[in-house]
Amino acid sequence: MTKITSRKELEQYRKNLQKQKGSKNITISVCAGTGCLALKAQEVVDNFREEIKKHKLSANVEVKEAGCPGFCEKGALVVIHPEEINYIKVQPEDVAEIVSETIVKKKVIPRLLYTDPHSTKPIKKESDIPFYKHQKRILLGNNMKIDSKNIDDYILYGGYSALAKALFDMKPEEVLEEVKKSNLRGRGGGGFPTGRKWETTRNAQSDKKYVIVNCDEGDPGAFMDRALMEGNPHLVLEGLMIGGYAIGANEGFVYVRQEYPLAVENTEIAIKKLEELGLLGKNILGSGFDFTITVHRGAGAFVSGESSALMSAIEGRVGEPRPKYIHTAVSGLWNKPTCLNNVETWANVPLIINNGAAWFQKIGTENSKGTKIFSLVGKVNNTGLVEVPMGTTLREIIYTIGGGVPNGKKFKAVQTGGPSGGCLPEKYLDLPVDFDELYKVGSMMGSGGMIVMDEDTCMVDIARYFVNFLSQESCGKCIPCREGLRHMLRILNDLTTGEATEDDVKLLEELSEVVQLSSLCALGQSAPNPVLSTLQYFRDEYQAHINGECPAKVCKGLLTFTIDAAKCTGCGLCMKNCPVEAITGEKKTVHHINSDICIKCGNCYEVCKFNAVQKATGKQKKVVSVERR
Amino acid sequence: MIQELREIDEIIDEYQGQKNALIQILLKIQEKKHWLPKPALLWVSERLNIPMAQILQIATFYKAFSLEPHGEHIIRVCLGTACHVRDGPKILEAAEQHLGIKSGETTPDLKFTLESVNCLGCCALGPVMMVDTNYHGKLRPSEVPEILEQYRTDTSALTNEQQKRKPTAQHQPASPVISR
Ligand SMILES: Cc1cc2nc3c(=O)[nH]c(=O)nc-3n(C[C@H](O)[C@H](O)[C@H](O)COP(=O)(O)O)c2cc1C
Ligand code: SF4
Ligand code: SF4
Ligand code: FES
Ligand code: FES
């Protein structure tokens, strides 16, 4: 590769790419994100390459391994441009037909289209699918157009023009001013104004400064950072470089969790390609700006996503938070001023520089600007990544885009903000989602996890789930967090087996307050949120558990399984699926469950085709508390 | 033994013997060996001039590291929020039942190690189980035994890398250390 040494050469390079592109007029984009790869996307790609060769279409058709557009549940996804024909759930076997029918004969294959469950009409174009149509995908929009391993794709769509603009048309102060004016707030959880953070690091006196991308994404149930880092790494890196220039840092780090091997790989490839082109290293584009980027893999610790902990981890030490009397923005990595931002935060930067702060200001609400990517999962029809302007209501996200709750079940709650967020009930469905509105009702934005729960979800169990998660992830440095969470978990466990009293719940509330007020880092400070919000909105469920009942029939200690003699046909399916041989009965006679042996796994309930297995709740005389430790 | 230490030297050299690369070096060793054998750690300690206590502190703090040999196949069942509400715990139970071990344990024949994880980042496909580098999404508990059996029988699919992973007599498990 020849080096690009000036802004003019970059533009020339882009023009050449456009010219080359002109000759290939059909593009088959296959999502090669982790979700689709899990659904055989690689085989789909390989088959396409082979079929295209077989049909001698290589001169005209390009096969692209693209990034995740967010609709992973419907993978493997294939989009054929320019018509934008969107095929879902494509299997390797379907490929030959797609090439001979759609590519050669220009005929659409209805079987592979997305069918709208409401109108039951198949939809041909990607942008007409309700899941995409109601989104505003300024960050994720290019994922399906770009091969994330190919820097040319990014450059073709205008990549690194924002960097060139910053380096040549703007002073560092002006870049900083533009980001400040945009009112961009950090997407990593706290919503701290990005420009202000940059300014602090910029103004700190030091010979050396650092910038870091936080791609730890420790929140269970969230994968937007993964989709961006895997699908469009250059967007994030360009943002980082612009930030480095504005702040006065010449060294950047990308901290990626090792559980995301593809994100690590794609980021490393992106960095290598940049170095080859001369867009990283000394004197970038002849501007005099030097910059290097290093990838650092996290080794699996939720608390290491916290800023001061993350910096310890990069230094090769245990990733525990430290007191922040002095902010990491002033004294961070190796005690040098360090600016850490989330993946999505950095990804917004090139867009702001290219389009201007005024453009960004127009998207979103009064105090939360731009779009936010949510990971919409749980009991919702269309699960996936959803990018919408700040201020979009929960109802629009869950119903219009998400298609509502499946199987005719009733919506119960939506949990936002990850382990440190809260659960919101139905009455808040019309709440416009932004940093401040969520906070007002006892939840938070967090990294953007959005978990939908239906009538089959037990809110006490959910609170227990999060407290269990956080007590395991606490680094153990402060007593309130370590011991407080452990004790809260004990009470929640007791609730799920019907052994807790009203006093226990009072103690739970008190402990919540103590842990909130006296922990060192935000893990402890926010850990009680799921408990407090479920107590606030679903107190009746706590009461029911005290009375020995689990209304959603989830908590094992409060369940009994029996077989209804009138319905049982004696097919024996339940017996076959019982892991502990608790079921007895001869073929074609009524079966029976021995509740002393039953471990309440629910297999029999699920497999019985005659609804003969009954699930009941209510405190038993002899409680087998499976979950208790 | 010498061969193995040489492999570790290569990893250390890749990072120019920098002390702050300790975690990255341990990650690479873990990837190669699938656990952190004691001789390897002693050698890292020697080469980087970092006290063994500090290395063990790191090896026990981060979840990616194991001080005990792992099975040939690593099974990771996701218990993240999205998978939790979609019956992830039942997948884990099914795997536990089938293998006769608890999460965190290795089967006596060293075929499988079972672990639970907090999120594999493909939540839309929940519940998700990962075996080695393969993801299995939208699982039903009843499908688990069959999937696992595939890995038990399919020895032809084992790469050299995986063959090597079988701990040999030289690799005594590290002496019991504080585990979290
Ligand atoms: C326990 C804990 C875990 C965190 N994990 C992450 C994470 O995985 N990703 C992230 O971007 N921020 C995480 N944060 C927030 C970071 O500390 C930091 O505020 C953020 O990365 C700053 O970026 P922003 O200003 O762009 O939001 C975590 C915070 C805490 C307390
Ligand atoms: S609050 Fe919890 S996680 Fe945070 S530093 Fe204290 S003990 Fe560690
Ligand atoms: S709930 Fe599970 S353990 Fe109990 S009888 Fe049914 S299948 Fe057997
Ligand atoms: S991984 Fe293919 S759509 Fe998300
Ligand atoms: S919660 Fe299971 S993959 Fe994310």
From chain B, the residues in CB contact with A218 under 8 A are 118-119
Asked if A209 and A329 count as a contact pair (C-beta separation under 8 A), the reply is no
Q: What is the pLDDT at residue A399? A: 95
Whether residues B121 and A601 touch (CB distance < 8 A) is answered with no
Given a cut of 70, the residues of chain A with pLDDT beneath it are 1, 23, 620-629
- pTM of the entire predicted model: 0.90
How close A76 comes to chain B (CA, Å)? 12
Whether residues B135 and A38 touch (CB distance < 8 A) is answered with yes
Residue of chain B whose alpha carbon sits nearest to that of A71: B124
Does any ligand 3 atom lie closer than 6 A to the CB of residue A561?
yes
Which of B85, B123, B129, B135 to mutate to test ligand 5, by most ligand atoms within 8 A of the CB atom? B123
Q: A307: CA distance to ligand 1 center in Å? A: 6
H helices within A190-260, ranges in order?
Answer: 194-203, 224-231, 233-247
Token reading at A120: 């039951």
CB proximity list for A430: less than 8 A, separation 6 or greater = A393, A394, A395
Q: A561: CA distance to ligand 3 center in Å? A: 7
Which helix or strand (DSSP H or E) is residue A499 part of? none
Average pLDDT, chain B: 82
pLDDT class for B72, splitting at 50, 70, 90?
confident
Average pLDDT, chain A: 93
Sheet containing B112-117: order of strands: B112-117, B73-78, B129-131, B134-136
CB proximity list for A64: less than 8 A, separation 6 or greater = A27, A28, A29, A30, A147, A153
What number of H helices and E strands is found in chain A?
26, 19
Asked if A185 and A368 count as a contact pair (C-beta separation under 8 A), the reply is yes
From chain B, the residues in CB contact with A421 under 8 A are none
From chain B, the residues in CB contact with A462 under 8 A are 85
Write down the ipTM of this complex. Answer: 0.83
Residue showing tokens 């993801």: B135
**Distance between CA atoms of residues A26 and A106, nearest Å:** 11
Give the CA distances from residue A547 to residues A348, A427, A462, B13, in Å, rounded to whole numbers and listed in that order. 50, 26, 18, 63
- Percentage of residues of chain A with pLDDT beyond 90: 84
Q: What is the pLDDT at residue B164? A: 35
pLDDT class for B154, splitting at 50, 70, 90?
low
Give the CA distances from residue A297 to residues A362, A370, A574, in Å, rounded to whole numbers and listed in that order. 37, 29, 46
H helices within chain B, ranges in order?
Answer: 2-14, 22-33, 38-48, 52-61, 81-84, 88-99, 144-153, 160-165
Mean pLDDT, rounded, for B79-103: 90
From chain B, the residues in CB contact with A419 under 8 A are 81
Q: What is the pLDDT at residue B156? A: 44
Q: What is the pLDDT at residue B178? A: 31
Task: Name the 3-class secondary structure at B129.
Answer: strand
Question: Radius of gyration over alpha carbons of chain B, in Å?
Answer: 17
* pLDDT over 90 at B169, yes or no: no
Angle among Cα B88, A228, B128 to the nearest 5 degrees reads: 15
Asked if A309 and A475 count as a contact pair (C-beta separation under 8 A), the reply is yes
Q: What is the pLDDT at residue A120? A: 83
pLDDT class for B179, splitting at 50, 70, 90?
very low
* pLDDT over 80 at B176, yes or no: no
Number of residues that this document lists for chain B? 180
- Atom 3 (ligand 4) nearest CA: A72
Q: What does DSSP assign to residue A125?
A: B
What single-letter amino acid sits at A482?
A: R
Asked if A77 and A36 count as a contact pair (C-beta separation under 8 A), the reply is yes
Q: How far apart are the first and last CA of chain B?
A: 30
Question: Radius of gyration over alpha carbons of chain A, in Å?
Answer: 27
Does any ligand 1 atom lie closer than 6 A to the CB of residue A17?
no
Token reading at B117: 């994880």
Token reading at A9: 């050469």
Q: What is the pLDDT at residue A444? A: 92
CB proximity list for A617: less than 8 A, separation 6 or greater = A549, A550, A551, A553, A555, A558, A559, A560
How close B117 comes to chain A (CA, Å)? 9
Task: Name the 3-class secondary structure at B21.
Answer: helix
Q: What is the pLDDT at residue B171? A: 34
Q: Which residue of B22, B123, B141 is in closest CB contact with A223? A: B123
